[in-house]
Chains A and B, each alone.
Chain A
Amino acid sequence: MGELIGRLHPLIVHLPIGILILAFLMEVASYSKRYKKLKVAMPFVLKVVIASSLIAWFTGWIMPKEGAFDERLVSLHFWMATGMVVSSLFLYFLYEHKSTLFRRLYLPCFLLALSFLTLAGHFGGSLTHGEDFLTAPLSNNSEQIIEDIDSMDIYAALIRPLLENKCYNCHNAGKQKGGLNMKTEESFLAGGDNGPIVLKGNALLSPLVKRILLPIEEKEHMPPKGKKQPTSDEIALLEWWIEKGHPFKKKIGSIERSEAIDEILKGYEKSQEDIDIEKLEPLSASTLDKLSRTGIRIHALSETNPFLVISMGRDSSITKQKLNKIFDLGEHVYELDLASSGLSENMLSNLKKLKNLRILKLQDNPIGNSVIKYINSLKKLKSLNIYNTEIDDAGLMELSETKTLETVYVWKSKATQNGIKKYNEMNPLVTIQNGIDSELFQVAQLKPPIIQTENSMFEDSTSVELIINFRDVDIYYTLDGSMPDTSSTLYKEPFLIHQTTTVKAISVKKDWLTSETENLTITKAGYEIAQVILSNPPSEKYSGKEESTLSDLNLGSLRFNDGSWLGYEGKDVTITIDLGSTQLISNVTLGALEDTGSYIFFPKKIDVSTSLNNRNYSFKSNLKIATAREPHPAEYRSFSMQIDKHEARYIQLNIKGTLKNPEWHPAPGAKNWIFIDEVIIN
């Protein structure tokens, strides 16, 4: 219980602090006329000061110290607090005795109590937050950006700032949680109550790293849950430091490091860009505004980065004057895009003013080697695009002078493979982008032509057009079913056909593989159909053009919702066809669709009967169709039924569907569909 009350000390101390300060303010205020009345309250407030400071003093006395605190600080805190309690008792005594002498001592005593309070508070704060908590913002060494990381001490530059941020709060000379003070080299190496915290050369077994890597819920995890945790980069650096024997005085550059560490270190290094930005004079908004009014696209890199990105690319109104205005912006310009702007060489004569230019895009302009001398005057250029310019090998050689380059785009310039190779040898660090290997895509096959007719069926004749959407392509075709080649008919213009014909066509072009053969059968219609009668109406969603769908000389596509199909869900249908007059009949054809994914199946069975009077039908033929055994993409099929040649006017097709999905279907047993289209009677 006593321990619990003791632990309330950090809370209760705030009472005397606030109240004593309030008492002082009331005392001072009561000298004015307006707050004169406050005088009356003073004895009470002073009593509260005494009571609260006594309680605070007492809780501090019994608070467990756990041996983690710097004894020097604890004792300073104790004596200052005692001083504060004593002086506030004395203060009350002085207040109660109104003699002149005591009156004179009253205010100084008040100030004395306040001083004790301030010091006690300060040492108390140092105990809980660490001695340099207050001054940390002034020393500000963790924010430092490093210019050349290799020349820095690993401990001073990397490790100490990290420990300072994440560990020192609890492990300092003042507050040594677990008996550990990490602030000095000696105390760091000495370790804590459980012994040393680092094992030379073995990061993963070092308690320091072990505890950081424990899951955050673990009691042993450090820094404790709720405190700022080190980042994965910081942990990697710490591990690296311990692996390399945790040296306290060693240059980073002299320590062997992995690529991953290298990457992390780069983040610590201040880039040349940061240095350049610091030197920039701010540019007035009106300067930018004026420029943008002339049609130049210009923006600052970001809210905090004043470097300018300027684009005059694809702007044919570019002039030397306009460009000079850009060059006058000098070191502010970071990126300049002049692509496809009809740039001429002499326009760039003042390019050197752009001292901080990093990215220059000159591609797609009629410029030659004479621009290289201007480019070489740029001392910080990293990326240069000279794709599709007149610059050749000599120009590239001359460009070797620009040592800062990281990437050069040379595709379609006049530079040869050899020249590029030579440049690369001289500048091995530069990435040269010279287009993709055209061999990779050398072999390509043409697309076949599209065979187009007005309708997929016709009555007397129809015009056929062969279409290809590509230049210099020859189309060869046959109409007799044979495979076309370059000895077949060369297509020149649309032609007419009069019979059911299979058109086969190929496209041919130099340096391309000949296309696959495209073929299309264009069907001549049978007898004219006067009327179609359906035994039951199709589904409303797929009713095409109603009955006439079956005789409109337009075949349905592979798309069930194209409007040229009649769909029946879970139902059979009987179609009666009236030819209008008696004809000689030998063949009946029905088109159907199967698209298993959309629950559409071919019919199971089609019965054909005919009649002369639409009353007495005689059965002529039937066709049984095997049901699909596995899913497959949409398929169109014409079901053709031969019958003995005979006379009839009415033909009846009794179409039986499978009605339900087969067992293998993802939705077995669900109602399925039949989709039917054109009927042809011959």
Chain B
Amino acid sequence: MKDPAEERSYLLNRRAFLSKSSVGIGAAALSSLLGSGLISGCGNRQENLSSVLQNSLALQSFHFAPKAKRVIYLFQSGGPSQFELFDYKPLLEKLRGQDLPESVRQGQRLTGMTSGQDSFPLASSMYSFKQHGQSGMWLSELLPYTSLIADDICMIKSMHTEAINHDPAVTFFQTGSQQPGRPSIGSWLSYGLGSENKNLPGFCVLLSRGTGRPFGQPLYSRLWGNGFLHSLHQGVQFRSGKDPVLFLNNPEGIDAASRRMMLDQVAELNQKQYDELGDPEIQSRISQYEMAYKMQSSVPGLMDVSEEPDHIYKMYGPDSTVPGTFASNCLLARRLAEQDVRFIQLYHMGWDQHDNLPSAIKNQARDVDQASAALIMDLKQRGMLDDTLVIWGGEFGRTNYSQGLLTDTNYGRDHHPRCFSIWMAGGGIKPGMVYGETDELGYNIVKNPVHVHDFQATLMHLMGIDHEKLTFKYQGRRFRLTDVHGRVVNDILS
């Protein structure tokens, strides 16, 4: 690295790169992507670059012995209703249709969608609950397959967040801040720990749309963005279809050899430019070209699921035969995990059931239930669940009262930040556990609240990182995923 002050000025002003990049012919050739900082040794061809990049990795060793080597985060975008899935509230059945007392609501901020509503009729779940597994976990009939893994998961019923609308809430979960611009969890981990696989990015993203509300809120790629970290740490989105990663294939008429030659030349120019300017983004760029080149050969094999036997498809469910579905993404997630990709982020959209909740959530749950459970079982039978952390959950919960008209067969639910349920399983998490409690109406938390920052701190802890120590200095202050908050939830650690 050059003079830090100078370097920082380039971090802030990327334009310098663009304005000057047309001059100069340079020296060192380079190739290999970083060997990671902790797990060094992913390639040794070009000491020059990888050593520079290693220095950019924050950690030289784990703060704690990591319980999990990788994370698969099954993000359920839209805010799944805890009442129809996880949080059994028999009292709501008795009080169905009655107004939610103000003493319970206590001035909770509402979204514009229900703030004008003159009554808040309590709505009970249309779907029945049963206890499952040795742990006796209550789960809804909408989750017949998740019920099979009740003894493998830890259900947290006392999650709470600060945001009440989708984008800030998802951004908060993924980056620790409601405002856009901070790095995503996967980027922080990539920054702290590097990549375990020299041929694949350390942070991969897969998207799917649910049938519950097929055209609901979009997601923005900044959710898996690197924020102010080097762009090398951003999540790489994998798609279904011919081009799993956009712009990865060589243009027509260009063969691998000439591509290689071109990359070497461009790398030389970039290195020259870096020597002159010291902008770390140039290095990110060089390594991204290299990564892309390696991915040209690693990705097709990874995405070719045809080698999976039929019984695996049956296990993940018929949807898994259709590329781009949540089920097929779960299958891909397992394949990425087998390749030691550190952070695998799935987003499944369509949980935003403001109206038509009973029918919509049924479809939506069917999208994810079997595949989520299959992923846990599949990891388990391969011996990977021990060191893979799987997380299932959305950005907030839903209200215990109906949005719009409550009829015998229909109702909706608005966003609710004060309590919701998520589950975690595998690497370092106590299996078969229910943590936290909500009140009998399911509006407030009465025991063991877990804030989003606590969740993030716990995730980092399981990966061997002290969330207070992984920081990045930017614009004069040190940032971290959990800002100035977050406590590790020790009670759920095995």
Which residues of A line the B interface, CB within 8 A?
A: 289, 291-303, 305, 307, 311, 313-314, 361, 363, 383, 385, 387, 407, 409, 411, 433-436, 438, 440-442, 444-447, 468-471, 511-512, 558-561, 596-597, 630-634, 664-667
Contact = CB atoms under 8 A, between A and B. Distances in A.
A371 B213 CA distance: 53
A302 B314 contact: no
B340 interface: yes
B355 A409 contact: no
Interface string B96-118: 00000000000000000110110
Contact of A302 (B42, B62, B319, B374): B62
Contacts of A292: 35, 39-41
Interface stretch (B71-79, B399-407, B416-424, B446-454): B399-407
B412 A469 contact: no
Nearest to A383: B386
A664 B62 contact: no
Interface stretch (B22-30, B375-383, B433-441): B375-383
Nearest to B324: A469
Contact of A447 (B322, B359, B404): B322
9 contacts: A292-B39, A411-B382, A436-B315, A468-B321, A469-B321, A469-B322, A558-B215, A597-B213, A666-B403
Contact of B355 (A295, A470, A631): A631
Nearest to B403: A666
A361 B340 CA distance: 14
A561 B43 contact: no
A10 B62 CA distance: 47
Contacts of A597: 213, 354-356
A494 B238 CA distance: 30
Given A302-B62, A441-B311, A409 B42 contact: no
Contact of B360 (A559, A633, A666, A667): A633
B316 to A, nearest CB: 9
A297 B193 CA distance: 12
Given A294-B41, A300-B61, A447 B321 contact: yes
**CB-based closest 5 A-B pairs:** A292-B41, A666-B404, A409-B383, A631-B355, A292-B40
Contact of A446 (B196, B318, B338, B377): B318
B410 interface: yes
B219 interface: no
B356 A438 contact: no
B323 to A, nearest CB: 6
Contacts of B114: 666
A470 B42 CA distance: 36
A interface majority secondary structure? loop
B354 to A, nearest CB: 6
A10 B460 CA distance: 47
Contact of A409 (B196, B340, B381, B407): B381
B95 interface: no
A363 B386 CA distance: 14
Contacts of A303: 61-63
Nearest to A597: B355
Contact of A631 (B215, B317, B404): B404
A663 to B, nearest CB: 9
A435 B381 contact: yes
A447 B355 CA distance: 28
A289 B35 CA distance: 12
B65 A305 contact: yes
Q: Which of B41, B64, B407 has the most CB of A within 10 A?
A: B41
Contacts of A446: 318, 321
Contacts of B136: none
A559 B215 contact: yes
Interface in B332-383: 338-340, 354-356, 359-360, 374, 377-378, 380-383
Contact of B383 (A302, A314, A387): A387
Interface residues of B, number: 59
B355 A666 contact: yes
B318 A445 contact: yes
Contacts of A470: 313, 321
A451 B23 CA distance: 54
A298 B41 contact: yes
Contacts of B40: 289, 292-293, 297-298
A361 B383 contact: yes
Given A292-B41, A301-B65, A441-B311, 20 more contacts: A292-B39, A293-B44, A297-B40, A297-B196, A299-B62, A303-B62, A313-B340, A409-B382, A436-B377, A441-B314, A446-B321, A469-B322, A471-B306, A558-B215, A631-B404, A632-B356, A666-B354, A666-B403, A666-B404, A667-B113
B227 interface: no
* Most chain B beta-carbon contacts within 10 A, residue among A363, A469, A560: A469
B65 to A, nearest CB: 4
A296 B42 CA distance: 8
Interface in B22-60: 35, 38-44
Contacts of A293: 40-41, 44
Contacts of A436: 315, 377-378, 380-381
A314 B403 contact: no
A512 B382 CA distance: 25
A301 B62 contact: yes
B3 interface: no
Contacts of B1: none
A293 B44 CA distance: 6
B404 A664 contact: yes
A158 to B, nearest CB: 20
B115 to A, nearest CB: 11
B148 interface: yes
Contacts of A442: 314
Interface string B267-305: 000000000000000000000000000000000000000
B315 A441 contact: yes
B409 to A, nearest CB: 8
A223 B140 CA distance: 45
Nearest to A473: B321
A295 B39 CA distance: 10
B196 to A, nearest CB: 7
B314 A631 contact: no
Given A363-B382, A411-B381, A295 B65 contact: no
A530 to B, nearest CB: 34
Given A559-B215, A631-B404, A666-B403, A296 B355 contact: no
A291 B41 contact: yes
A305 B42 CA distance: 23
A447 B320 CA distance: 9
A632 B360 CA distance: 9
Contacts of B322: 447, 469
A433 B382 CA distance: 8
A302 B66 CA distance: 8
A299 B60 CA distance: 10
B319 A664 contact: no
A432 to B, nearest CB: 11
A441 B306 CA distance: 19
A631 B356 CA distance: 6
A569 B44 CA distance: 63
Given A297-B42, A447-B322, A631 B410 contact: yes
Nearest to A359: B386
A436 B152 CA distance: 13
Nearest to B39: A297
B380 to A, nearest CB: 6
Q: Which of A471, A512, A665, A666 has the most CB of B within 10 A?
A: A666
B310 interface: yes
B90 interface: no
B214 interface: yes
Contacts of B168: none
A444 B314 contact: yes
Contact of A433 (B116, B215, B380): B380
Contact of B42 (A295, A411, A441, A596): A295
Contacts of B35: 292
Contacts of B382: 363, 387, 409, 411
